[in-house]
Amino acid sequence: MTDEDRGSGFMPGGRASLPPASGGPLAGLTFAAKDLYDVAGHPTTYGNPDWARTHPAAVATAPAVLALAEAGARFLGKTKTVELAFGLTGENVWYGTPVNPAVPDRFPGGSSCGSASVVARGEADIALGSDTGGSVRIPASYCGIYGIRPSWGSVSLVGARPLAPSYDTAGWFAARASVLRLAGEVLLPEGGEAPLGPVIRVQEAWMNAQPAVAAALIPAMEAVEKVLGPALQLSLVPETLLELYEHFRAVQSEEAWATLGAWVAETNPQFGPGVGERFAMARAMDPAKARAGRAFRQHFRQRLMGLLGGGAVLIYPTSPLIAPKLGASAAEQLWVREVTLGVTAIAGMGGLCEVSIPAATVEDAPVGLSLVAAPGRDRALLALAEQVAERMGLPL
């Protein structure tokens, strides 16, 4: 494998094509898909050579991939993923970690690292990812592009490998807000277009962010206020982000082991740094904690629906930190993971939709600003992101 292959977002040998549609709303655009979506006739590696070795090539193409192709976008191929989508830095020791073109000495973010990288490099207009705990939102923030975690259940994950099904969502990236929205018009169900507002700052998530990150996002926050009016300020109070993280992790771990544990136990696959440890922790998850996590999640969802069901929008930094440096220690990576998941778990636990807007840079590294809305409001949220981008003077 060449250095170029190692740094590319595309899978080595992952270039592929699909029958082109003539015309359609995405005509003239290109797209790629994370290598956990099936494309008929191609292997789905799920980021791990042992997975690839133990699974046959796909016989059908995932509906989300087909939908983009049928809407006129030209398919370019598969993109790299963190092994079994279980990691947020974007590292892949087997196929190479995709370059973060905005800050090449830092991680691209993951698990949808390849999809973020190819969009950030301008190699594709749209790239499908998937987001369980932040796997679209974090690389979008790190690479300085748009990313959406749609409402849970709103976009088909048929033909996509699961990690923790009650959190798994499809998601996608684009370098421009209008393109992010166009893809949504193809992928999302009809409806949910009623305008959103007011905007609510979630105090805990702003406090949790690195001060430089929070400060850098203020102008973008003001652009949002120009669109939606002055922000209210909310504190979740009883739910600390740490508690959210713990409950999220308990449920995710139990599900990840239920979903992939049999294969891991049977195959005893080789894993890159961190991945095996995460599966070991998933295997050891106390069922009582997972049960408590599910009970918490049910109440949290009800509360969030009551808060956001009228159209209110949460706003906070997508990630509390800029991308960690390549070569960050395992301890630093674990810390980053914990403080990050506490924020990304808000939408994860709530089943909410979230769009990350490339809003600022800190030390030349991008940071995203997230707008978060009630389940089913994805289309309005994408329209709002486009309005905000316009206010910010970003290219549409």
Structure-token pair, residue 332: 């630093």
Report if residue 380 touches its own copies, rule: CB under 8 A.
Answer: no
Q: How far is the CB of 307 from its own copies (least distance, A)?
A: 5
Task: Scan for tokens 């999640």, then name that residue.
Answer: 297
Q: In what helix (H) or strand (E) does residue 66 lie, and over which residues does it extend?
A: helix 63-70
Torsion of CA 342, 347, 348, 353, to 10 degrees: -150
Tell me how far apart the terminal alpha carbons of the chain are, to the nearest angstrom: 36
Q: How far apart are CB 352 and its own copies at their closest, in Å? A: 12
Residues with catalytic roles? 34, 111, 135
CB closer to its own copies out of 41 and 310: 310
Q: Which of 215, 268, 306, 329 binds its own copies (CB under 8 A)?
A: 306
Least distance (Å) between residue 313 CB and its own copies:
8
When binding is defined by CB under 8 A, the residue of 299, 325, 332, 396 that contacts its own copies is 299
Q: Which amino acid is at 347?
A: A
Residues 6+ away with beta carbon under 8 Å from 383: 181, 193
Identify which of residues 292 and 328 has a Cβ nearer to its own copies in the complex: 292
User: Cβ-count burial of 330 within 10 angstroms (0-12 exposed, 13-18 middle, 19+ buried)?
Assistant: exposed
191 binds its own copies per the rule CB under 8 A? no
Closest separation in Å from C-beta 207 to its own copies: 13
Interface with its own copies by CB under 8 A: which range of 26-34, 87-95, 190-198, 205-213?
190-198
DSSP-based three-state secondary structure for 315: strand
3-class SS at 289?
A: helix
Name which of residues 223 to 242 contact its own copies (CB under 8 A): 229-239
The answer to whether residue 339 forms part of the interface with its own copies (CB under 8 A) is no
Find the shortest distance in angstroms from Cβ 199 to its own copies. Answer: 9
Closest Cα partner for 218 from 316, 148, 323? 316
Quickly count: other Cβ atoms within 10 Å of residue 262's Cβ. Answer: 10
Q: How many residues bind its own copies (CB under 8 A)?
A: 27
Position 388 contacts its own copies (CB under 8 A): no
Among 153, 189, 197, 272, binds its own copies (CB under 8 A): 197
Q: Is 383 in the site for its own copies (CB under 8 A)?
A: no
- Per the CB < 8 A criterion, the answer to whether 201 and 180 are in contact is no
Interacting residue ranges for its own copies, rule: CB under 8 A: 196-198, 200, 229-239, 299, 302-303, 305-312, 374
